[in-house]
A = this chain, B = another copy of it.
Amino acid sequence: MRESFDTVMKRRFVFMQSFLIHGGVSGLFDYGPIGCSIKNNIVDAWRKFFVVSDGMLEVACPSITPHRVLEASGHVKRFTDLMVRDETSGECFRADKLIEEFCDVDLMKDAKHSNETRRAGSMTIEQVEDAISTFNITSLSTGAKLSKPLPFNLMFKSTIGPSSGSSVFLRPETAQGIFTNFKRLLEFNGGKLPMTIAQIGKSFRNEIAPKQGLLRQREFEMAEIEHFLANGETGHVEFCKMADVEVCLFSRTAQERGEAESWTTLGQAVEDGIIVNQALAYFLGKTQKFLRQCGIKAIRFRQHRATEMAHYAQDCWDAEVLCSYGWVEVVGHADRACFDLQMHSEATDVPLVAWEQHQEPRERRVVQATIDRALIGKAFRARSKLVVEALEKFAEKEGEEALAFQKGKEEGAPEALKLRVEEEELEIPAACAGSEHGAFYYPRVVEPSFGLDRLFYCSLEHAFYVRGNDHERTVLGLPVSIAPFQCCMLGLSSNDQLMPIVYEIHEEMRKMGVNCRLDDSAANIGKRYARMDEIGVPFAVTVDFQSCQDGTVTLRERDSMEQVRVPKEEVPQLVRSLCEARESPDVSWAAAKERYPSV
């Protein structure tokens, strides 16, 4: 089946390795007209389903990212894979994949090889060395001895600016652009949490030796969501809509005990403490609904084991999809606590915090940003704007200096606050000290992270089938909402009477915004239907000789191959309605069959 699938993908240029005429580059892919259209539709659907429907805020940040940003986020140090080198040929292998391939079993499930339940992917350098010597692993190509494992940073490096320039990377994920904008986004949202930010865009990973086609690309499209929670909150206001959703969970415990996945509802899983909180569970449900909408069938959620998770993460679940490569991670979901905001705050001295107003003022005294602008204006005149900014910054800070000042106030000592403004130390009359009206805190964040190319690939594989047992008659049974074209216009023959009607309806379709392809080739009608089936076009409108007499045309549905006769004036609106889910359920193929005569 996979072979037949690959043939169609290649023959119809759905996707293809890039720059093939120049020799090609592994891990880079081109999307042809069909693939590009399907992927655009998936992106649109994602935006509607997540951003518009949940009222998220979307941002777009550059791929080029300065060294210091990714140093703050930990990527410069830790975004690595272990690599081993063939000592004779110099060829490089990714250590974990080599071990997995060599052992030809998932170590995790094989008690003989290891008492720990672990995957090669989470091994330390020492464990990899150990595994290589234990299993006598040698180069896959030459059988030669392998070098010691070395960490290889997966980020593409470049420089920006003239001559030597400054060091930059291509972002390995889109999320950092959201974290670095946190303050502005919170302000945009009126200072209120929860707040949900999304970003869709390219990310880049210089994989050591990419295989598995679209599943492991060096340049790929992500859609990431950062859901920032209010202090102490772990719920989600719309969780009630998800509580009854049934999901297939492959929990940490099940993996450790060698048990199978099990079905439960999201509400139950939170109650049982399997999923850490409602907010994370809400997004698992939302993700599953979206994957189903893209026609993906076999979905499970696999929880990360303790060895897989970063130290700061509270809980992680991967949405995995079963395809011909096995279970493939398509969406990651992580409760990342407040790690990222904290790291950037520490690196920049800009506090990425939110303010929580107490219900009742509390007694403890703190420095507070009740700034008397009139007083400051009088005292500092031209520089008063800078002074106010310095004060606001100071007041947001909860560091030692602020505490010392507060302590001093409590003890009745300092009358003035000393702040550096433009290289000069100024004495500023003490801001007021009163009741504590609230406190600053780093918000916790829940992050669903979609690999859109993997989602695209799985949608295609799950949509692919053959009619009967005929491997020549392949169909892409894609959901109408993501099909590459919504409709195809055909003439039964290229007869002079028929073609004007074909063009007229095609023009009408285009005017209505229906993405309609015209096939005016000379191939017979059956062959042309087959071509459309192969690339997943859900509807075909054919003008035949009866059309010249009674003004009707045939409308064919891809999966059932059923046809109805429809007056030509009605067909553009009918096709448009059939294609736009939101105008259903009044308009469905079943309804069309009742309304119009079958052929």
- A: residues with CB less than 8 A from B are 12-13, 16, 18-23, 25, 27-33, 35-37, 39-40, 44, 47-48, 52-53, 55, 57-66, 68-69, 72, 83, 85, 92, 152, 156-163, 165-166, 168, 170, 177, 180-181, 183-185, 187-188, 190, 202, 204, 206, 208-209, 218-219, 344, 347-348, 350, 352, 510, 512-513, 515, 517-518, 521, 582
Q: A62-B29, A62-B219 are in contact. Are A13 and B180 (CB under 8 A)?
A: no
Chain B residue, CB-CB nearest to A199: B36
Pair A53/B521 contact, Cβ less than 8 Å: no
Q: Of B21, B60, B64, B163, which is within 8 A of A180 by CB?
A: B21
Pair A162/B62 contact, Cβ less than 8 Å: no
Can you name 10 extra interface pairs (CB under 8 A) apart from A36-B60, A55-B518? A13-B188, A28-B64, A62-B218, A92-B162, A152-B162, A157-B158, A158-B158, A160-B218, A165-B206, A190-B521
Pair B162/A208 contact, Cβ less than 8 Å: yes
Least Cβ–Cβ distance between A387 and chain B, in angstroms = 21
Pair B66/A185 contact, Cβ less than 8 Å: no
Pair B61/A30 contact, Cβ less than 8 Å: yes
Least Cβ–Cβ distance between A13 and chain B, in angstroms = 5
CA distance A234 to B28 in the complex (A): 35
Least Cβ–Cβ distance between A24 and chain B, in angstroms = 9
Q: Contacts of A582 on B, CB cut-off 8 Å?
A: 512-513
CA distance A582 to B170 in the complex (A): 40
Tell me the number of copies of this protein. 2
Chain B residue, CB-CB nearest to A155: B158
Pair B64/A204 contact, Cβ less than 8 Å: yes
CA distance A517 to B55 in the complex (A): 7
Chain B residue, CB-CB nearest to A176: B19
CA distance A44 to B55 in the complex (A): 19
Q: A57-B33, A162-B92, A185-B33 are in contact. Are A25 and B66 (CB under 8 A)?
A: yes
Pair B202/A32 contact, Cβ less than 8 Å: no
Q: Contacts of A160 on B, CB cut-off 8 Å?
A: 25, 27, 156, 206, 218
CA distance A255 to B165 in the complex (A): 38
Chain B residue, CB-CB nearest to A94: B162
Q: Contacts of A156 on B, CB cut-off 8 Å?
A: 64, 158-160
Pair B83/A59 contact, Cβ less than 8 Å: no
Q: Contacts of A21 on B, CB cut-off 8 Å?
A: 180, 183, 344, 348, 350, 352
Least Cβ–Cβ distance between A459 and chain B, in angstroms = 16
Q: A53-B510, A162-B208, A204-B64 are in contact. Are A22 and B69 (CB under 8 A)?
A: yes
Least Cβ–Cβ distance between A568 and chain B, in angstroms = 20
